[in-house]
Amino acid sequence: MYEKLQGAEQRFVELERQLSDPAVIGQREAYQRTVREHAELGKIVPVFRRYKETLDRIAGSRELLNDGDAEICSLAREELAALTAEQAHLEEELRLLLLPKDPSDDKNIILEIRAGTGGDEAALFASDLFRMYARYAEGRGWRVEILSQHPTGVGGLKEVIAMIQGKGAYSVLKYESGTHRVQRVPVTETQGRIHTSAVTVAVLPEAEEVEVEINPNELRIDVYRSAGPGGQSVNTTDSAVRVTHLPTGLVVTCQDEKSQLKNKNKALKVLRARLLDIKTQEQERQRSEERKSQVGTGDRSGRIRTYNFPQSRVTDHRIGLTLYRLEAVMQGELQELIDGLTTHYQAQALQHADSLSARG
């Protein structure tokens, strides 16, 4: 690990030199690549330098243990204990920083929420979940844009697809994919019985055009009149768009914009993200051993979380974390859940890396 960190530090110094080189500055793409790599190493190198400084101080404290003065020896032992703890903390931080980075972590996301079992109650909870994620995103200063939605007559959502734009959005929310279960008394229930409903959530990284090339000849694009609540153009112009990707059979519809072109562009964004997700999942299946270290991409059909309203309880079943402040969570206060999931999956990744290292 130490040799790898030394190499990272040397590369960081070289990149700093390049960033002041007029030849690099004059090449836009090369300069942007250099800036990105410098920023990534800038997360590691300062921690490594603190680590080296700590090792030097530990060596100095050990020398003082040989001093004949009892008071100096006592102080040296105290300092050595503190520095050894700091060394262990920095080593753990460096091991995390050296884990292979998910190339999608810095991306914006496409958030898809769909009502599952439970009829109108599931649709109402889908609306509640979207509001929860939107408030969390807005609290972080991210931008939320609805790409497509299918409302129900009782104020719920059969489906909502949104773009969340913010640096690192995928790294933060990627563990939210899965089935979310709700237990509560529906507003339509007259006898006060608790019902259980389910909603599925998918978090997809936004795909760049260079990552997923779509052949226009493999698309069928249908236009039709929008339906449901909207502006003046609803039900009067053929602005709604349905895009079908013929090789996969994927279908994306969008009708929220008055402009047919805008609806088409939004639908293509969603289609591109889904195709990238299929491509990624296939690659992970082919790399079965490596997939064990690709945390957070498990079976999306599995139940991941339960929201129990009568007990004001939310439980994440993957990490066994239960919080008794459901109302705050539904208002977008998700950070404790997100931090717990991140720590859990980082620990899994470290364990996998350690087992590979031991085998090597």
Give me the pLDDT at residue 235, please: 47
Instruction: Report the distance separating Cα 56 and Cα 217, nearest Å.
Output: 64
Length of the chain: 360
pLDDT tens for residues 137-184?
Answer: 999 999 999 988 999 888 899 999 999 999 889 999 999 999 999 999
**pTM attached to this predicted model:** 0.71
Are 240 and 263 contacting, i.e. CB atoms less than 8 angstroms apart?
yes
Tell me the residue type at 208.
E
The H or E element that residue 205 is part of is strand 195-205
Q: Among candidates 77, 84, 297, 271, which has minimal Cα distance to 170?
A: 297
* Edge-first strand listing for the sheet containing 250-254: 219-224, 240-245, 250-254
C-alpha to C-alpha distances, 55 to 45, 90, 120, 161, nearest whole angstrom: 15, 11, 61, 51
Give me the pLDDT at residue 11, please: 92
Domains, the chain, with CATH or none:
2-97 (1.20.58), 109-210+296-349 (3.30.70.1660), 216-283 (3.30.160.20)
Give me the pLDDT at residue 139, please: 95
240-245 vs 250-254, strand pairing mode: antiparallel
Tell me the residue type at 96.
L
Give me the pLDDT at residue 240, please: 86
Give me the pLDDT at residue 93, please: 85
Task: Count Cβ neighbours within 10 Å for each residue of 89-98 and write b for 16 or more, e otherwise.
Answer: ebeeebeebb
Give me the pLDDT at residue 86, please: 93
Give me the pLDDT at residue 295, please: 34
Give me the pLDDT at residue 355, please: 67
Give me the pLDDT at residue 292, please: 39
Q: Which residues of the chain have pLDDT under 70?
A: 188, 190, 209-210, 226-237, 283-301, 354-360
Give me the pLDDT at residue 299, please: 39
